[in-house]
Amino acid sequence: MASKYDGLARIIIQNVGGKSNVISLSHCVTRLRFKLKEESKANTEVLKNTDGIVTVIQSGGQYQVVIGNHVPDVYAVVNEIGKFGTENEAPADGPKVKMSPGAAFIDMISGVFAPTLGVLAATGMIKGLLALFAYFNIISADGGTYQLLYSVADGFFHYLPIFLGFTAAKKFNVNQFTGMALGAALLYMDDVLALASADPVSTIFAGSSFATNVYTTFFGIPVLLPASGYASSVIPIILAVFVASKVEAFWKKIVPDVVKVFLVPMLTLSICTPLTFLVVGPIASFLNSLLGVITSAAFDFSPLVAGLFLGGFWQVLVIFGLHWSVVPIMLANFTNFGYDFVLQPMFAASFAQTAVVFAIFLKTKDQKTKSLCIPAVISGIFGVTEPAIYGITLPKKKPFVISCIAAAIGGGIIATAGVKAYMSGGMGVFGFTSFINNETKDISSMIWIFISVAVAMVIAFIITMATYKEEAPKTKVKEAGKLQSAGQGTILSPLKGEVKELSELTDRAFSSGVLGNGVAILPAEGKLISPVDGEIVSFFSTGHAIGLKSDFGAEMLIHIGMDTVKLEGRYFTKKAEQGDKVTKGQLLLEFDLEAIQGAGYSVLTPVVITNQEDYTDIVYETGKNVEYGEELITLL
């Protein structure tokens, strides 16, 4: 059954360089995250100007196509058409992308944590609601209803190493059940040794944040367990699976195929399990504790400065995907202290952004801007601010800065008040219950969160209402003061054939005019000539699509047939290259018309003006036959 996102999905696949250019695909709350072999093959401007795409970001070694709230639906269709495999999964022998250490770290963190965040937030919300209901005596904390729901609310976080073992195994291309087995081993030792023994044999670094207990030995070597245990921990399992990826790769090379399915996991676990408890686990636990000590010291030094900085720059971090670097610190704090204070100054940011957009909605008289504001406000209330950022505030610049200032003030209040989150809850309005202490039923942190959010929203709203001015329409003026048509001129026919309406095309993006206004041509011959004097600004390696910019400023896209990207260059012979200067009538491409049609593809070819907003009118005539070089489109 066809999806309403079929057209959008095909445009995305085509303009990231085609299926063959994609190494892997995943998604988060609002964006598709591609890893591409060559990002230079992607047609970023076409994607940015496509209806249904908010913007495109290249950051952290990923090519991110920002979609919005319905990204899971678009992801499913893109994946179904492209057959890219399961989320975050890349072939073990696939091409590697060289990334800087910082980009590699962000990519690793996002790959491991992103699949868990939805459920982690959901279970945190359940825990927060239970605390709220218990606080107001709606249900009893000793009753069966509370305990049953609390089992999943707390259980997911308690057994987080097992879930992270699974996602880390996918990221590092390890047998996923091997990763889960290592996570289970960490928790099993917690349960069997730490809980079964009244006292440890000895304790190293007793009385400090680095306290480590010894309960038993392995061939005489002490087995070290952190005083807080491995439950809910993050760093130990990630490092353990990373080490396992190297060990497993070694055994895969030498173990015969006939016994590989069980012998490789056995040998990998036999080595990595003791290695995890004797070396990897203690080192990871030390790093875990060190993160907590450093972040505590930073906030102790000046909580106001820390809060202002994190609150003010949080949205900038999100834009570039750098917010992932803070997630492990938050989870480490939950493990070490039972609460987190580091990430919380960012909480007011989404509300400040939403207040700015609501103010713009009230002030603007532009109907297009109003139509963008309504869904952006609704999304922002629930913590998803990409539609607001990319669609409204960032392009206008000043509103985005106002939202950051208001968010910084909210963050400063949160940090100065010592606000603590006791669970990883939902975003936006769903996040308030995360600040209830489930054990003591203390709601003071939640009250401060309400105060900080209110202050940030009021400041953002008032400043925007006072300063927002509608931008005057931009026009290009000649010295004489008359309106200048940007790039007025004539487009000649690049093909010989019959001129038809764009609406006859099967691709929604072309037929609806989203990619530009123009015509479709049913070619009679398999030759394409240049319709203008200008430059080839994009020429897909497959030869099926070409972007041109004329010397008078017109930008156009010519796409031979529909879905012909799937032919992967078969039946297309390029006669020019991207970056070439071209003249009217110059042969740019030859294609086998009969072979393309024989393969089951339509050859109806759109010729569209992609910078149509620069013109007052685009004039053409359909229902006629044209020869090469005949006048096709007039731009006014």
Tens of pLDDT, residue by residue over 303-324, are 898 889 888 888 887 766 566 6
Average pLDDT estimate for 598-619 = 84
More reliable by pLDDT, 82 or 465: 465
Residues marked active site are found at 28, 559
Q: How many CB atoms lie under 10 A from the CB of residue 473?
A: 6
> Edge-to-edge, what's the strand order for the sheet holding 202-204?
202-204, 212-218, 221-226
pLDDT at 363 over 50: yes
Q: Evaluate whether 488 touches 423 at the Cβ level (below 8 Å).
A: no
Question: How is residue 73 written in tokens?
Answer: 């639906």
* Span of 86-100, 110-124, 281-295, 410-424 with lowest mean pLDDT: 86-100
Report the alpha-carbon distance of residue 180 to residue 219 in Å, rounded. 25
What was the pLDDT predicted at 86? Answer: 47
Closest CA to 348 of 433, 422, 458: 458
Higher per-residue pLDDT: 336 or 312: 312
Partnered with residue 525 across adjacent β-strands are none
Does the pLDDT of residue 113 top 80, yes or no?
no
Summarised one tens digit per residue, pLDDT across range 512-546 is: 776 778 899 999 999 999 999 999 988 878 888 89
Q: What is the mean pLDDT of residues 98-115?
A: 70
* pLDDT, tens only, 552-597: 888 888 999 988 878 888 899 999 988 889 999 999 999 999 999 8
3-class DSSP state of 590: strand
HEC readout, 132-176: HHHHCCCCCCCCHHHHHHHHHHHHHHHCHHHHHHHHHHHHCCCCH
More confidently predicted of 1 and 116: 116
Residues of the chain with CATH 3.30.1360.60: 6-90
**What rounded mean pLDDT belongs to the chain?**
82
Q: Which residue has the higher pLDDT, 62 or 624?
A: 624
Query: What was the pLDDT predicted at 272?
Result: 94
For residues 532 and 574, the answer to whether their CB atoms sit within 8 Å is no
Q: Residues for the chain: how many in total?
A: 636
Alpha-carbon gap, residue 610 to 49, rounded angstroms: 9
Closest CA relative to residue 58, chosen from 95, 41, 29, 33: 33
Question: Is it the case that residue 482 has pLDDT exceeding 60?
Answer: no
Give the DSSP letter of residue 380. Answer: H
Residue 181 has pLDDT above 50, yes or no: yes
How far apart CA 563 and CA 567 sit, in angstroms, is 8
pLDDT of residue 509: 65
Mean pLDDT of 283-302: 77
**pLDDT computed for residue 481 by the predictor:** 33
Q: Is the dihedral of CA 114, 115, 116, 118 positive or negative?
A: positive
* pLDDT interval class at 93 (50, 70, 90): very low
Q: Is the pLDDT of residue 485 over 50?
A: no
DSSP state of 39: G
d(CA 465, CA 461): 6
Whole-angstrom CA distances from 429 to 352, 449, 468 are 13, 11, 26
**How many C-beta atoms lie closer than 10 Å to residue 232's C-beta?**
20
pLDDT of residue 551: 87
Average pLDDT over residues 264-282: 92
| Share above pLDDT 90 across residues of the chain, in percent, rounded to a whole number | 29
Instruction: Check residue 470 and report its DSSP letter.
Output: P
Q: Which residue has the tokens 């729901």?
A: 149
pLDDT of 321 = 59
pLDDT of residue 514: 66
User: What fold, for 489-635?
Assistant: Glucose Permease (Domain IIA) (2.70.70)
Least confident of 42-51, 313-322, 451-460, 469-478: 469-478
Alpha-carbon span 416 to 411, nearest angstrom:
8
pLDDT at 475: 39
The pLDDT-based confidence of 472 (bands split at 50, 70, 90) is low
- Residues 60, 63, 69, 72: is their CA dihedral positive or negative? negative
* Mean pLDDT on 605-630: 85
Cα 184 to Cα 205: distance, rounded to the nearest angstrom: 26
Q: Give the CB-side neighbour count of residue 12, counting CA atoms within 13 A.
A: 33
Residue 28 reports pLDDT greater than 80:
no
Enter the DSSP assignment of 471: P
Q: Are 161 and 284 in contact (CB under 8 A)?
A: no
The answer to whether the pTM exceeds 0.75 is: no
pLDDT at 220 over 50: yes
| Comparison of pLDDT for 156 and 114, the residue scoring more | 156
60: its two tokens: 């952290």
Q: Is domain 6-90 in CATH 3.60.150.10, yes or no?
A: no
For residue 486, pLDDT over 50 is answered with no
DSSP state of 421: B
Burial label, 126 (beta-carbon count in 10 A; 0-12, 13-18, 19+): buried
Of 455, 450, 447, the C-alpha closest to 410 is 455
pLDDT(225) > 70 = yes
Q: pLDDT band at 299, cuts 50/70/90? A: confident
Cα–Cα separations (whole angstroms), residue 278 to 197, 238, 310, 408, 531: 19, 16, 37, 43, 70
pLDDT value of position 60: 62
pLDDT classification of 130: cutoffs 50, 70, 90: confident
| pLDDT confidence bin for 176, thresholds 50/70/90 | very high
Does the pLDDT of residue 471 top 80, yes or no?
no
> Between residues 477 and 529, which one has the greater pLDDT?
529
- 623 — pLDDT class (breaks 50, 70, 90): confident
pLDDT at 324: 63
Sheet holding 631-635: strands in order across?
A: 489-492, 631-635, 618-620
List, in order, residues 6 or more apart from 376 with CB less than 8 Å away. Answer: 354, 357, 385, 387, 388, 391, 392
What's the whole-number mean pLDDT along residues 69-91? 70
pLDDT at 474: 42
Which stretches of 322-443 are DSSP H helices?
327-337, 349-363, 367-381, 386-388, 394-396, 398-416
DSSP symbol at 622: -
Extract the tokens encoding 372. 């963008």
Per-residue model confidence as pLDDT tens digits over 413-434: 999 999 998 887 777 888 888 8
- Can you tell me which residue has the tokens 């109806």? 604
Rounded mean pLDDT of 359-364?
A: 92
Pair 356, 145: CB distance under 8 Å:
no
Say what percent of the chain tops pLDDT 70: 88
356 neighbors 385 (Cβ within 8 angstroms):
no
Whole-angstrom Cα Rg for the chain: 29
Cβ atoms of 433 and 446 within 8 Å: the answer is yes
* CATH 2.70.70.10-classified regions of the chain: 489-635
- pLDDT, greater one: 79 or 298: 79
